[in-house]
Structure 1
Amino acid sequence: MNASTGSKSLADQVARLCYSHFDNLPKKGKPLQGREWTIVAAFVQRTAKKVNSNLSLKVVSMGTGSKCVGQSKLSHDGDLLNDSHAEILARRGFLRYLYHHMEMAASGKESDIFVVDPKTRKFTQKEEISFLFFSSHTPCGDASIIVKEPMKTESGCTEEVLQPTNGSISHRDEEPPLKLPRLEIQDVHRTGAKCVEGGPQDLKHPGIDHHIVGALRTKPGRGDQTLSMSCSDKLAKWNILGIQGSLLMNFLSKPVYVSHIIIGKCHFSQSVMERALITRFESAVNQIQNTKFMQHKPEISQSQLNFRFGKQIDDENCQVQPCPSSIIWCACPVKQLEVAVEGRKQGVTKKTQNQSSCHLDICKKNLFKKFLFLLSKFQVDDLPMHLKERRTDIQTMTYNQVKRLCTDYVQMWEKVRINILPTWTTKPTALTEFTVSLAANS
């Protein structure tokens, strides 16, 4: 089996596993067949078995959805999901999964994915464990700006499409023979994500020059514009800084990266995906990366299996509507499945939305609680040094203050912001100044 065949085989295997997992979830939160569509994304754990060289695959987190909250509706209490795109929800479920395994290891139980470094007291990912990322659809933003397939004209000719050049998509400007009709205007698939203010902007010309490529983008929202970056941009960031974020990085010796990114059957371009997630930032990253944070270059491939609730890829005028709800699932012993609508747990009312029992387990506030709970599971002498010194203070710190405890991560993120992602949106600091109490942890 050659590498290409193996990649295709793995892509279909992962897609089939994820679609089957989705089908086995309860009906609540799923799209209405024939009337609604959604996107499904998942993190898949791959275990290499040393005995017989076989691979074991299992879904460890999953998310569905395509909605986002506008900036005027953001919560100052960390109890609302700003971004409910499937990719982001799957990642948040994956954070819960990592917390669960860290809690096991900290309690002296064996974890499937982590070992403790005896010198640093930090967690290290086991060599035989790797993680794959799957999405039924190309990520919104730069990865979705794909040149459409050439269309035949009356003469039977097709228009030749060239690869992006110098940061923009172009096509060959040639006149057809005089006796033949002009070729139809070449076009690109559109993304709803908008270029960030202060950076390069879309030309919005007809056809192929509607979008520019390589620009940072924010997701569209219902009503006002969002502050959430496109999934293409977030995946690119995760390839540099890891999936785990700043809180979990306090306990890790190295970032957690994905080894493969697999996309389901949809509009897809290998070169565009590589540009959006890796190469558009590659030269700049090379100037600032270090031994801990280095741009990871996952293998990218596509499955040819359809998602039965996916948006019709051959009919852009399809009247099927996006599903308003989102499903979040993770392989944890409690609260495996949750359903969200407009960033909150389905069924929550204005009267109950401030009750801790009504908050989604993947919201900022509850993930912050999981960090403090994990901290409490350690004996003082077993904590990483920088946490041991601040252990008492941390309990009263704000979310924003705790996010800055891992100086390695913070310094690298600041370098990335300045040198690579200067127009990345900044949310008001007031949105991260909340505190939590472990006594309120449910």
Structure 2
Amino acid sequence: MAQTLRDSIAQSSITLYDTLPKHGKPTVRNNGVNEWTILSTISLVIPSSSSTTHIPSSSSASSSLDTSRVLPISLGTGVKVLPFSRLPPLGDALHDSHAEIIARRGFIRWLIYQASLFAPSSSSCANASGEEVFLERRDGKFRLKEGIKVWMYVSMLPCGDASTLHTAAHQSQDEAAQWDDNVGAMPQASDSTTDNLASIPSDDGSPLHVNAVGPTVVRGRNGYTNYSTMRTKPGRPDSIPSISMSCSDKIASWSVLGLQGALLEELFEAVWLNGLVIGGVDTPKSWEGSQAEWEVRVRNEVERALWGRLESIQDHLPPPYTLHKPAIHFTVVPFPHSKSAIQSSLPPSSPDPAPSPLSLSYIPSLSSQPKSTHKVKAGKPKPKPEIIANGTILSFVWKPPGKELMKEKGRSRISKFEILRAYEGLSTLLAESLIAGYQGEGNGQGQTSLTDNCHSTLTYCARKHRPGSRYQLAKTILRGHITPLSSTGTFTSLEQYGQVWTTDIDVDSEDGPALQLPIPPFRGWLVSGKEYEEFTSSGALRRG
């Protein structure tokens, strides 16, 4: 890849971040502690020959800026996650506020918004401002126009498996000692596995271990010298545990399932991540090789974490789902609010910087009009970033058990609840267009079923788990069949959170008997379960 495009993706992301107000960004606390955060964006890389109406199918996204432009469409910052006790049953608070997850959820909102511009019934008013439309519709489903690529930028390595080597090499002995009591409990590499891997030195010269056994889910950096391991957030040992899987695990799942998610399966083709640009890959002091050699080693680890550990199922996924292998590139463009940038600017006597408790979500093309207005209007207000604290808009507090819907002003536009409402708003737009077409042809058939499908009687869970969903089948091949057994009392450890999962998955074959699939590589994935998705867009709980 040409360096200009790699660094342009990073620079355009940081430039967009710089345009946002200071409120919600890292600051210096009253006690003198400096804050830091992580930045992530999802950007389109668009061939210069593209237009708002057509991109030639023969064009390809070049790696040179002479033939491409970079357009960040969703930005997120943050490092926080909600504990199990604060999971919202109505989907009105964000469980995971890590930067990469916020950027991806913003991308889902952007897809819905773009489709609303494309809808025939909205073309005369919704796109009066002449916004670019990057989607096309074929065979009843939306997709990105030919030649457009999707890239993610992250200011540091994603938490979890992709950053295990880098973390181990940069940790001080004091930091590593916080997990020493737990290292012995981790599965070790089998001889056959170790023989196939190059030895990787840690910061103290000891070998890293490979998790080649069992359905292990590890809390944070517990057993930080093991890799190919699913991990939960947060990483700090003194934090309240959660059941949120690491960003490495989630990005890896997008390599199989796409960025669009289960909710959009009916209206969108799968949208794949073409590549990641990652910052903050510093060479450790103990490394005796060159910077280039270190980057090769880290890149190999990231590739293994984000798609290499899923290769066992790549020939068993139901079309259109398949294992995509996003390109991995590193950038030296500095993010000024990264931990390393803040740390390097402080005097030696300064206290260690701390992660910001706030997150930002910014979708430049999405207006700041009231969330209840899902039809896009001309002359929309200028978009504003959302400042998120503890899963909700700053100054609004979610209160357990959460059976009363959070006030509209307190809900993020990227929460499950608001994404469901936006999705149903889009469905209504599309249904109205079809109904108008039927009526113009003197045909009223189908109107009832179309409008019924748009209303709020179906739960978020029901819309994600449609009969015959190939998305859900692909997810089952990835994870196995999972039945969560909810934790009781205070959630203090992963062992408290019971799950029943199976590895025996049969898939009907058109050419013969059912096929026995490989053991799901992400077996043991922690899920909140159906009880946290049984809400409707009207705010009703439909639990059995």
Q: State TM-score, norm by structure 2.
A: 0.66
The answer to whether the Cα contact below 8 Å between 2:313 and 2:477 also exists between their aligned partners in 1 is no
Q: Which residue number in structure 2 is paired with residue 431 of structure 1?
A: 532
- 2:279 and 2:256 map into 1 onto residues whose CA distance is 24
1:186 to 187, 194, 205: 205
Residue identity opposite 1:26 in structure 2: P
- 1:113 and 1:333 map into 2 onto residues whose CA distance is 14
- 2:47 and 2:353 map into 1 onto residues whose CA distance is 41
- 1:239 and 1:387 map into 2 onto residues whose CA distance is 37
Q: Which residue number in structure 2 is paired with residue 298 of structure 1?
A: 326
- 1:378 and 1:187 map into 2 onto residues whose CA distance is 59
- 2:101 and 2:539 map into 1 onto residues whose CA distance is 25
The answer to whether the Cα contact below 8 Å between 1:274 and 1:300 also exists between their aligned partners in 2 is yes
Secondary structure class of the residue paired with 1:434? coil
Q: Which residue number in structure 1 is paired with residue 118 of structure 2?
A: 105
Residue identity opposite 2:390 in structure 1: E
**Residue deviations 1:175-194 (CA, integer Å, cap 9, x gap):** xxxxxxxx98326999xxxx
- 1:17 and 1:188 map into 2 onto residues whose CA distance is 39
Q: Which residue number in structure 1 is paired with residue 10 of structure 2?
A: 15
Residue 121, structure 1, aligned to residue 123, structure 2: no
Q: Which residue number in structure 1 is paired with residue 507 of structure 2?
A: none
Residue identity opposite 2:251 in structure 1: L
Secondary structure class of the residue paired with 1:90? helix
Q: Which residue number in structure 1 is paired with residue 270 of structure 2?
A: 255
- 1:415 and 1:227 map into 2 onto residues whose CA distance is 21
Q: Which residue number in structure 1 is paired with residue 253 of structure 2?
A: 237
Taking the TM superposition and a 5 Å limit, the aligned residue runs for 1:159-308 are 165=194, 170=199, 185-186=204-205, 198-199=215-216, 210-220=224-234, 223-252=239-268, 254-267=269-282, 269-282=298-311, 284-308=312-336
The answer to whether the Cα contact below 8 Å between 2:232 and 2:242 also exists between their aligned partners in 1 is yes
- 2:275 and 2:200 map into 1 onto residues whose CA distance is 31
- 1:278 and 1:367 map into 2 onto residues whose CA distance is 27
Secondary structure class of the residue paired with 1:137? coil
Q: State TM-score, norm by structure 1.
A: 0.80
Cα distance, 1:381–1:105 mapped onto 2, change above 3 Å: closer
Cα distance, 1:106–1:139 mapped onto 2, change above 3 Å: same
Residue 46, structure 1, aligned to residue 67, structure 2: no
- 1:74 and 1:43 map into 2 onto residues whose CA distance is 26
Quote how far apart the aligned CAs of 1:428 are: 3.0
- 1:186 and 1:127 map into 2 onto residues whose CA distance is 48
The answer to whether the Cα contact below 8 Å between 2:358 and 2:389 also exists between their aligned partners in 1 is yes
Q: Which residue number in structure 1 is paired with residue 150 of structure 2?
A: 131
Q: Which residue number in structure 2 is paired with residue 324 of structure 1?
A: 357
Cα distance, 1:53–1:128 mapped onto 2, change above 3 Å: farther
**Residue deviations 1:35-93 (CA, integer Å, cap 9, x gap):** 00000000111111238972111110100000111001111111110000000001111
1:410 to 466, 472, 475: 472
Q: Which residue number in structure 2 is paired with residue 94 of structure 1?
A: 107
Q: Which residue number in structure 1 is paired with residue 424 of structure 2?
A: 372
Residue 339, structure 1, aligned to residue 384, structure 2: no
The answer to whether the Cα contact below 8 Å between 1:131 and 1:259 also exists between their aligned partners in 2 is yes
Secondary structure class of the residue paired with 2:106? helix
Cα distance, 1:66–1:350 mapped onto 2, change above 3 Å: closer
Secondary structure class of the residue paired with 2:478? helix
In structure 2, list runs of 5 or more residues that go unmatched. 51-64, 171-192, 283-294, 369-382, 436-445, 481-519
Cα distance, 1:167–1:392 mapped onto 2, change above 3 Å: farther
**Residue deviations 1:300-331 (CA, integer Å, cap 9, x gap):** 10001111110127889970000110010012
Secondary structure class of the residue paired with 1:312? helix
Q: Which residue number in structure 1 is paired with residue 407 of structure 2?
A: 355
- 1:270 and 1:87 map into 2 onto residues whose CA distance is 18
Quote how far apart the aligned CAs of 1:124 are: 2.5
Q: Which residue number in structure 2 is paired with residue 158 of structure 1?
A: none
The answer to whether the Cα contact below 8 Å between 2:393 and 2:409 also exists between their aligned partners in 1 is no
The answer to whether the Cα contact below 8 Å between 1:167 and 1:213 also exists between their aligned partners in 2 is no
Q: Which residue number in structure 2 is paired with residue 140 of structure 1?
A: 159
Secondary structure class of the residue paired with 2:263? helix
Residue 421, structure 1, aligned to residue 522, structure 2: yes
Residue identity opposite 2:388 in structure 1: A
**Residue deviations 1:142-176 (CA, integer Å, cap 9, x gap):** 001115669xxxxxxxxxxxxx936988458xxxx
Quote how far apart the aligned CAs of 1:105 are: 1.0
- 2:430 and 2:203 map into 1 onto residues whose CA distance is 66
Residue identity opposite 1:227 in structure 2: I
- 1:43 and 1:387 map into 2 onto residues whose CA distance is 37
Cα distance, 1:167–1:124 mapped onto 2, change above 3 Å: same
Number of aligned pairs? 398
- 1:387 and 1:270 map into 2 onto residues whose CA distance is 53
Higher mean Cα deviation, 135-144 or 223-232? Answer: 223-232
Cα distance, 1:24–1:232 mapped onto 2, change above 3 Å: same
Cα distance, 1:292–1:49 mapped onto 2, change above 3 Å: same
The answer to whether the Cα contact below 8 Å between 2:39 and 2:154 also exists between their aligned partners in 1 is yes
Quote how far apart the aligned CAs of 1:214 are: 0.3
Q: Which residue number in structure 2 is paired with residue 25 of structure 1?
A: 20
- 1:431 and 1:68 map into 2 onto residues whose CA distance is 16
- 1:184 and 1:77 map into 2 onto residues whose CA distance is 45
- 1:71 and 1:184 map into 2 onto residues whose CA distance is 33
Cα distance, 1:387–1:379 mapped onto 2, change above 3 Å: closer
- 2:21 and 2:93 map into 1 onto residues whose CA distance is 23
Secondary structure class of the residue paired with 1:19? helix
- 1:189 and 1:312 map into 2 onto residues whose CA distance is 24
Cα distance, 1:201–1:379 mapped onto 2, change above 3 Å: closer
**Residue deviations 1:264-293 (CA, integer Å, cap 9, x gap):** 1334611111010011111x2223124311
2:459 to 392, 398, 420: 398
- 2:535 and 2:433 map into 1 onto residues whose CA distance is 29
Residue identity opposite 1:212 in structure 2: N
